[in-house]
Structure 1
Amino acid sequence: MSPDGLPPLREVIARYELAPRKSLGQNFLLDLNLTGKVARAAGDLTGATVIEVGPGPGGLTRALLMGGAAKVIAVERDERCLAALAEISAHYPGRLETVSGDALTTDFAALAAGHERVLIVANLPYNIGTELLVGWLTAEPWPPFYESMTLMFQREVAERIVAAPGSGAYGRLGVLAGWRTQARIAFDVPPQAFTPPPKVTSSVVHLAPRPEPLPTDARRLARVTQSAFGQRRKMLRQSLKPLGGEALLEKAGIDPTRRAETLSVAEFVALTAALDG
């Protein structure tokens, strides 16, 4: 038996025949010490409602419940995992709600409605992690429905999220995360911690929303950054041509010969304001 009185995860996977599926981006984290570390990286869970995406056999789910979360709302697309999650639910009566469905079409704000403190904590499926993050970063209204996000990504993606202007990893994700949150890498997780082991190291990123980010339209900012970094080797007057090019840059007071990775978040906000006009 594990510390929480439930069967070991390997046993659960064997019993319910939960071989991870590549098509679903599944890499199960089986080490309960590590899932506990992820849960602790989220901060104080006492009394909180935690939204988890892609719980799989429930390793992180169990750590969150053991860590004191009042409730976990787990969104799982793979119906094979529902029986294993039901076993956890029976062990923690009234504290685990499983939503069977696709995270990309889930209304997370609706799931959070009526809950006082909401945290998002997840070992995200690799194939949808970035898309989900962008959705949460551009959520309206702001401050958002969540108090913080603690998410696992491939190390390369994590570095892009926390990247500063001027660095090679700085791009659209760094601008959006830097604009609305304070993001930091909490720790790395080696490939051998997963089943199956991915080819890359993973990292847990903690993102705390800024209560008052620079005012701008999130969708327009996303559009400007997408265009600017779409041709990152080119000068901005070229990469931003579809949005107004040199005239747009002059209106924002930005040298048209600069490249996207040299612009600060504030300058991207200024560009977006110029686009608005």
Structure 2
Amino acid sequence: MAALDGLPPLRDVIQRHGLDARKALGQNFLLDLNLTQKIARTAGILDGVTVIEVGPGPGGLTRAILALGAKKVIAIERDARCLPALAEIADHYPGRLDVIEGDALQTPFETLVTDGSPVRVIANLPYNVGTQLLVNWLLPETWPPFYQSLTLMFQREVGQRIVAQADDNHYGRLGVLCGWRTQAQMAFDVSPQAFTPPPKVTSSVVHLVPIENPIPCSAADLEKVTMAAFGQRRKMLRQSVKSIGGEALLARAEIDPQRRAETLTVEEFCRLANCL
């Protein structure tokens, strides 16, 4: 990549700017530029696309996205120490990189792109906010959402929960929400050794594409049902959903009260939510 885009190796950038990864910010920098290109390619052809990136750090993935032809990258970075390194990338790609200093959890993503270009989210998400960001992107008030796809890196365990379906040990609230509104698939795993510092767990890249017309259902009610059902996942549904209607609710939804939460399909969870 250094030869491809003419910018210095990432290790040099990190050393020059004193960018030690900080655990409090959930940072693990990805330095393998072949790997960052693989992540960017997972999102598909980027020509004419505006990409939103969260937590770019020193900009390894940012560089890959720009080198592969994205029209523009809008990067949200909370760590002010990374801004000079990102400014160097912006200078190298004039007019194609906008950096917003701020907290991604407080960012109104749907307002960031105003020129009508297609939007994709590609990010090596900070571990400490990744799941909450995904839930926020899954549950906006309007659907279809502002993005064409989400290509995101998580701890492998979280990735397994995202793509899990009924009767899978990893199936839970996250699997239901993702299965309701997206088609989610695991793309590939990433070894801890690819990061600086190496995390204690393997990571996975997950690709999610919105379903244009998901099962009609209230997001708030679906959250309520899944939280109750999986809050006591080892118990029968008649006990785990007792606080939100118990057997009467299950009868209305025509679901056997002796079943357990992990056996219900997304469609059945939506039926439960619609019967609340």
TM-score range for the pair, normalised by the shorter chain length: over 0.9
Contact 1:49–1:115 (CA<8 Å) still a contact in 2? no
| 1:178-199, Cα deviation, whole Å (9 max, x unpaired) | 1110000011100000001011
Distance 2:58 2:83 in 1: 8
What TM-score does the superposition give when structure 1 sets the normalisation length?
0.98
Distance 1:113 1:139, change over 3 A: farther
Partner of 2:62: 61
1:184 aligns with 2:217: no
- The CA deviation at 1:251 is 1.0
3-state SS in 2 of match to 1:112: coil
- Where has structure 1 moved over 6 Å in runs of 4 or more? none
Partner of 1:95: 96
The one-letter code of the counterpart of 1:169 is H
3-state SS in 2 of match to 1:250: helix
3-state SS in 2 of match to 1:51: strand
The one-letter code of the counterpart of 1:13 is I
Distance 1:18 1:2 in 2: 22
Instruction: Map 1:187-198 onto structure 2 (within 5 A).
Output: 187-198=188-199
- The CA deviation at 1:267 is 0.3
Distance 1:5 1:210 in 2: 39
Distance 1:235 1:65, change over 3 A: same
Q: How many residues align?
A: 275
Contact 1:2–1:8 (CA<8 Å) still a contact in 2? no
Distance 2:41 2:217 in 1: 33
Distance 1:221 1:146 in 2: 22
- The CA deviation at 1:69 is 0.3
| 1:161-220, Cα deviation, whole Å (9 max, x unpaired) | 000100100001110111110000011100000001011110000001111110111122
Partner of 1:10: 11
Distance 1:85 1:147 in 2: 25
3-state SS in 1 of match to 2:5: coil
Partner of 2:244: 243
- The CA deviation at 1:222 is 1.4
Distance 1:155 1:92 in 2: 33
- The CA deviation at 1:3 is 2.2
3-state SS in 1 of match to 2:4: coil
1:119 aligns with 2:127: no
> Where do 5+ consecutive residues of structure 2 fail to align?
none
3-state SS in 2 of match to 1:151: strand
Partner of 2:165: 164
1:206 aligns with 2:207: yes
Distance 1:83 1:249 in 2: 56
Identity of aligned residues (%): 68
3-state SS in 2 of match to 1:20: coil
Partner of 2:20: 19
Distance 1:249 1:113, change over 3 A: farther
The one-letter code of the counterpart of 1:47 is G
The one-letter code of the counterpart of 1:19 is D
Distance 2:227 2:64 in 1: 37
> Where do 5+ consecutive residues of structure 1 fail to align?
none
Partner of 2:74: 73
| 1:197-251, Cα deviation, whole Å (9 max, x unpaired) | 0111100000011111101111221121111111111111111111111111111
Partner of 2:271: 270
Distance 2:114 2:257 in 1: 45
Distance 1:132 1:113 in 2: 21
Distance 2:3 2:247 in 1: 62
